[in-house]
Structure 1
Amino acid sequence: MPPPFRSAPRLPGSPLLRRRTFLAATLGVAAAGLAGCAEDDRPTVRLALDAPLPAEVPSGTVLRVGDKELQKAIEYSGQAEKLSFDVSWANISGGPETLEAFRADALDIGSVADIPPIHAAWTGLSTKIVAAKFRQDPINHPIYQLGVAPGAGVASLADLRGKKIAYSPGQAQGALVLRVLHQAGLAKGDVKLVELASTGDVYPTALASRQVDVAPIGGINVKRYLAKYARDGGSTISHGLRDDPGHLYVRAETLEDPAKAAAIREYVQAWARAWVWIEQNPDEWIDRYYVKDQGLSREDGQWLVDNAGVPDIPASWSDVIARHQQTIDLLAKETGNKPLNAADLYDRRYESVGATAFGEGAK
């Protein structure tokens, strides 16, 4: 029997931290600062990135994870109790925070969309994707809608020319904007891109104040924006593109640690089963996570569940990598960065891990 799951203690003003491998963190809406682990904590035996994954996780292994939403699903589903290692949950989300934590050697695994691994490579950090999740009907269940400011006069993608559009480089929302422009036959020079962080309610606020005409907004912000500003002419339009990639990724260096590599394999399995549990237990997920943990109304929680679609964890990454390559090629052209080989961003030793566990269900 694996040892019982133990969460790290909460330190005042910081995420959940554990032991001296995770020294300090102060995270706000717009910035994050993290300190890393000591050099003498690193293993002396390194695992080649093409070597078979170890089957067993050594006693005493700790995995530092930034996966806020699935942390709760893993706990509620009982998967946490089955893990054979300790997890230090970090209150970290989004590409910039995760990348900063990686650079500080303060995080082992992060949950992001498809853009942060690209941005990491372009800024000199080698990372690998170890899990990939999508939605079975991504066009009808998109993650983002294009929010339109009151009076902006945007009813379709054809109306974007000359508009001020919120843009966040290095994040999924920023890449979506470039893809939308490409879809509409527009170049960056045909619009005015306004760089804004996409955290919290920054984009809805920018729309309401007419700082921008258009901004990609997602989650409960879609519902709240329409409820508050539709009467004044605020609206949303569909972008008509796939925007559903969700990945777990890690520093390549972390995968050279045999203990971490084995723990990551086990975590991916728990992560996949937690997605099954969410799908099978929507009412409990709404009550425990959205209402009690996130402080949303039950109506808001139900709206999020209804608009999330059905999760899909593919057994093959071939199509995933091909779509990722298209995104890379577009971003490289639009940003002037060097083209990358999308396959280099994936560790295919983990390719079947999530899919197999997902197929088995929330056991």
Structure 2
Amino acid sequence: MTSRRSIAGAAALMALLAGCSHSGGKATLDLSAALPAQVPTGTVIRIGDPAIQADLQASGLDKELTDAGVRIEWANISGGPQSIQAFRGNKLDCGSVADIPSLFAAWTGTATKIVFQAVTVDPLKFPTYELGVAPGRHISSLADLRGKKIAYSAGQAQGALVLRVLQKAGLTQKDVQLIDMTSTGDTYMTALGGKAVDVAPLGTTQVATYLGKYPGSSAIATGIRDDASTLYCLTRAVQDPAKAAALKTYVGVRTKALLWQNEHPQEYAKAYLEGNQGLSPAAAQAYLDVHGKVGIPASWDAAQARLQATADLLAAEQDHRKLDVSTLADRRFEQVEAAAAGDRVVTGDAS
């Protein structure tokens, strides 16, 4: 006699395969099909999301993933260059990034989908970057950038920010000298301190260190929103029915982890800033002082509109093909995220 467990298992399998096509014996989930709810036994997703990994472990929310049958192979990877390289080597399914990597993945032939969007509450009060100014250079406004040497990395968020700053100032690339330079570690601070460049985008956590290290240096605000925060995944991972089910669970739990981070900043600092990033307690506190709370948007509309504007700007300024960014987001996960946040979603996109 067939057991109830066998019947339930068969039903779960049928639900998982609904909306799937089959090629070469492997099921492929249609991108318009409902996300499966049941995670098959043995499903593994490979994720580079170090801050959330620390949040989950510190908060105990990792148990929700385990209970749902989600197994994660964590990679200490974040940011565009690392994640795209790992995608191409088939070493990663998903990575935490700002918005620019999704564009460059598309432009360089790596198919990805955004499955998570977050915003900063009061983003102009808590910017991600300021413009560091080299010692002795008298730059107090964006208009003063004319003729200056500016550190520029085309494939990073800092590069896009530079182009947006020029646009806001009414300047073009011909009005300044863009110095190609990838931002890694203290590269930009060193370039500023040695006057190899006049201006460079610095993370707000770097600014105090920079000003203290180089007498006569300064920094100015951009007045531009720069708080994009996403999780993006290989399209083929989202099309895998088992991984899609696991990601549905992960997106919900990730939402809870970010809200936990808002409510437990000291625990977050201990677990991630000190434990993973190696910051001292004082440096971790300095980080918290300049970073606002994370908001879970009720809708992705505003974030997508900003991404489209950025894509259009980069296409024009960097000679890329035009992109319709609606093809880069898997908005089935939009409601998963919002449902997990419940009444703590932010409306108006925290602007």
- TM-score, normalized by length of structure 1? 0.85
Matched, 1:209 2:191: no
- Which structure dedicates a bigger proportion of its chain to helix? 2
Q: Is the 8 A contact 1:62 1:88 kept in 2?
A: yes
Task: Report the alpha carbon displacement of residue 219 of structure 1 after superposing the two structures with TM.
Answer: 4.4
Task: Report the alpha carbon displacement of residue 43 of structure 1 after superposing the two structures with TM.
Answer: 7.6
Matched, 1:188 2:190: no
Q: Is the 8 A contact 1:141 1:309 kept in 2?
A: yes
1:199 alignment partner, one of 184, 193, 200: 184
* Aligned-partner Cα distance in 2 for 1:220–1:170: 21
Q: Is the 8 A contact 1:66 1:111 kept in 2?
A: yes
* Aligned-partner Cα distance in 1 for 2:218–2:202: 11
Task: Report the alpha carbon displacement of residue 134 of structure 1 after superposing the two structures with TM.
Answer: 0.8
Name the counterpart of 1:247.
Answer: 230
Name the counterpart of 1:94.
Answer: 79
* Aligned-partner Cα distance in 1 for 2:54–2:343: 20
Task: Report the alpha carbon displacement of residue 185 of structure 1 after superposing the two structures with TM.
Answer: 0.5
Q: Is the 8 A contact 1:127 1:251 kept in 2?
A: yes
* Aligned-partner Cα distance in 1 for 2:179–2:234: 31
Greater mean alpha carbon deviation, residues 241-250 or residues 259-268: 259-268
Q: Is the 8 A contact 1:43 1:257 kept in 2?
A: no
Task: Report the alpha carbon displacement of residue 290 of structure 1 after superposing the two structures with TM.
Answer: 2.3
Name the counterpart of 2:97.
Answer: 112
Relative to structure 1, the CA distance from residue 208 to residue 131 in structure 2 (aligned partners, 3 Å threshold; closer, same or farther) is: same
Task: Report the alpha carbon displacement of residue 289 of structure 1 after superposing the two structures with TM.
Answer: 2.7
Aligned amino acid, residue 238 of structure 1: A
Q: Is the 8 A contact 2:55 2:261 kept in 1?
A: yes
Aligned amino acid, residue 76 of structure 1: A
Name the counterpart of 1:332.
Answer: 315
* Aligned-partner Cα distance in 1 for 2:270–2:182: 30
- The alignment's C-alpha RMSD in Å is 1.5
Corresponding residue SS for 1:107: coil
Name the counterpart of 2:114.
Answer: 129
Matched, 1:51 2:33: yes
CA offset digits 1:196-254 (Å, max 9, x no partner): 1111111111111111111111142122112212xx21111000000001000011111
Name the counterpart of 1:287.
Answer: 270
Name the counterpart of 1:303.
Answer: 286
Matched, 1:78 2:60: yes
Matched, 1:321 2:304: yes
Matched, 1:347 2:330: yes
Identity of aligned residues (%): 51
Task: Report the alpha carbon displacement of residue 274 of structure 1 after superposing the two structures with TM.
Answer: 0.9
Task: Report the alpha carbon displacement of residue 355 of structure 1 after superposing the two structures with TM.
Answer: 2.1
* Aligned-partner Cα distance in 2 for 1:153–1:47: 57
* Aligned-partner Cα distance in 1 for 2:342–2:218: 39
Name the counterpart of 1:64.
Answer: 46
Task: Report the alpha carbon displacement of residue 294 of structure 1 after superposing the two structures with TM.
Answer: 2.7
What 5-or-longer segments of structure 1 have no aligned partner? Answer: 1-41
Name the counterpart of 1:34.
Answer: none
Matches within 5 A, 1:129-208: 129-208=114-193
Structure exhibiting the larger radius of gyration computed from Cα positions: 2
* Aligned-partner Cα distance in 2 for 1:52–1:86: 21
* Aligned-partner Cα distance in 1 for 2:251–2:343: 13
Relative to structure 1, the CA distance from residue 290 to residue 257 in structure 2 (aligned partners, 3 Å threshold; closer, same or farther) is: same
Matched, 1:270 2:230: no
1:259 alignment partner, one of 213, 236, 242: 242
Task: Report the alpha carbon displacement of residue 111 of structure 1 after superposing the two structures with TM.
Answer: 0.5
What 5-or-longer segments of structure 2 have no aligned partner? Answer: 1-23, 345-351
Aligned amino acid, residue 173 of structure 2: K
Number of corresponding residues: 318
